[in-house]
Amino acid sequence: MTPRYSIFSLLRNAASYHEDWPEAWRSPEPKPSYEVVIVGGGGHGLATAYYLAKEHGVTDVAVIERGWLGGGNTGRNTTIVRSNYLWDESAQLYEHALKLWEGLSQDLNYNVMFSQRGVMNLAHNQHDLRELNRRISANRLNGVDSEFLTPARIKAFCPIIDLRAQGRYPVLGASLQRRGGTARHDAVAWGYARAADARGVDIIQECPVEGFDISNGKIQAVRTGKGRIEARKVGIVVAGHSSVLAGQAGFRLPVQSLPLQALVSEPVKPVLDTVVMSNAVHAYISQSDKGELVIGAGVDPYVGYGQRGGIAVTEETLAAICELFPMFRRMRMLRLWGGIVDVCPDASPILSKTPVEGLYINCGWGTGGFKATPGSGHVFAHTIARDAPHPLNAPFKLDRFHSGFLIDEHGAAAVAH
């Protein structure tokens, strides 16, 4: 694709204080019917719409978002991208996503600021060490880059980390995925929205889906704040609210909705050029391009829909960060927020047909679905277009909770993102 903006239009727009900037996507009123309706305008929903149009030629598509694009977890997450999951099924799904990340800015002609700065997972005890080494071996067998770092190599890779023996959580080693890193979350939503719109997808914001019309076990329409919209097929992609929407469609999901928090510090000069994660102390950290330290915590231990979390969780997280990085002790925190994550019993997602014909669900990514955004959208679009799973998401069916074929990723997911 050729760039939409020349240097002259950039100068003209700068001089006009952005007033004349064209809209990046249209804001149409919904049509009475579509071939496919995607409920949820986060990264996964928008990516699904984009790949439906691009890969399957299905362009009679609407994305229905109750708020604004990326206002859910897509715009609230700490943007860590990696694919070093334990089991074959997950490693292959997340690696598919990582490969798409590597060409995403070019594909969308939109800079999603994907930065492969490496993701390090720390081991603080013998159990962590064994688990990391097992996962490194499994990753390599799946073609996922993963290596072990001794404490000396950790220090060389990330000099500001404190490895002194008197630390409460001694660092005994780490795994490193060099191809992992971060991306700009809003840009991912905006890039997919612009590219989907350009292929004819209608993006409809401030339009909550309030129910489904189902007849003879088959989806007929969605009922929304802007009226009834008929659809031959509907995909539910509403992280954090999946059980609510599934309930409206008459089936139950095995997910818990939990608050998950993150916070950022005041901006400082570049000091940290990788992502450091610790499952054992429930903390992880990176530095944004603006200079803020981006710090993530674990989930709160209770179910809820308030987009905030308990202060005790934040205090524990900051204590761990200060222990690993004593130089951050005097930094001030600027903002704290939360999102609601849907967690499955096996810490793996659901990308599946449902008991309702023509209704599909993509949910249960828990604390770590941002990294999967391109891959999730890609295989979910296939599932909807073909009415059959893509080989990569076939193991992530809803009926695995009946059959017992669970994909237990608690070790790789855990607090980690």
Ligand X SMILES: Cc1cc2nc3c(=O)[nH]c(=O)nc-3n(C[C@H](O)[C@H](O)[C@H](O)COP(=O)(O)OP(=O)(O)OC[C@H]3O[C@@H](n4cnc5c(N)ncnc54)[C@H](O)[C@@H]3O)c2cc1C
| DSSP string covering 119-165 | EEEEE-SHHHHHHHHHHHHHHHHTT---EEE-HHHHHHHSTTS---T
Residue 58 within binding range of ligand X, rule CB under 6 A? no
Residue 39 found at the interface with ligand X (CB under 6 A): yes
| CA separation for the pair 364, 216 (Å, rounded) | 27
Nearest residue (CB) to ligand X, 13 versus 337: 337
Which amino acid makes up residue 411?
G
Cα–Cα distance measured from residue 405 to residue 417, given in angstroms and rounded to the nearest whole number: 23
Are the beta carbons of 50 and 42 closer than 8 angstroms?
Answer: no
Closer residue to ligand X, CB minimum distance, 87 or 365? 365
Residue 162 or 296 with smaller CB distance to ligand X:
296
Distance CA 387, CA 97 (A): 21
- Residue that the structure tokens 């072990």 belong to: 148
The mark string for 99-138 relative to ligand X (x by CB under 6 A, - otherwise) is ----------------------------------------
Contact range with ligand X by CB under 6 A, out of 4-12, 158-166, 315-323, 369-377: 369-377
- Token pair of 71 as six digits: 């206002």
Of 84-92, 237-245, 312-320, 391-399, the window that binds ligand X (rule: CB under 6 A) is 237-245
Q: Which of 369, 374, 375, 395 is close enough to bind ligand X by CB under 6 A?
A: 369
The position carrying tokens 């995909």 is: 235
Does position 378 interact with ligand X (CB under 6 A)? The reply is no
Does 298 contact ligand X by CB under 6 A? no
Footprint on residues 256-275 left by ligand X (CB under 6 A):
260-262
Determine if 341 is a binding residue for ligand X (CB under 6 A). Answer: yes
Structure tokens at 128: 């962590």
- As a whole number of angstroms, the distance between CA 59 and CA 116 comes to 32
Residue nearest to ligand X according to CB distances in the complex = 42
- Contact stretch for ligand X (CB under 6 A) within 14-22, 41-49, 164-172, 390-398: 41-49
**Which two three-digit tokens encode residue 145?**
């880059």
Q: Which residues bind ligand X (CB under 6 A)?
A: 39-45, 64-67, 71-74, 76-80, 208-209, 237-241, 245, 260-262, 296, 339, 341, 365, 367-371, 417
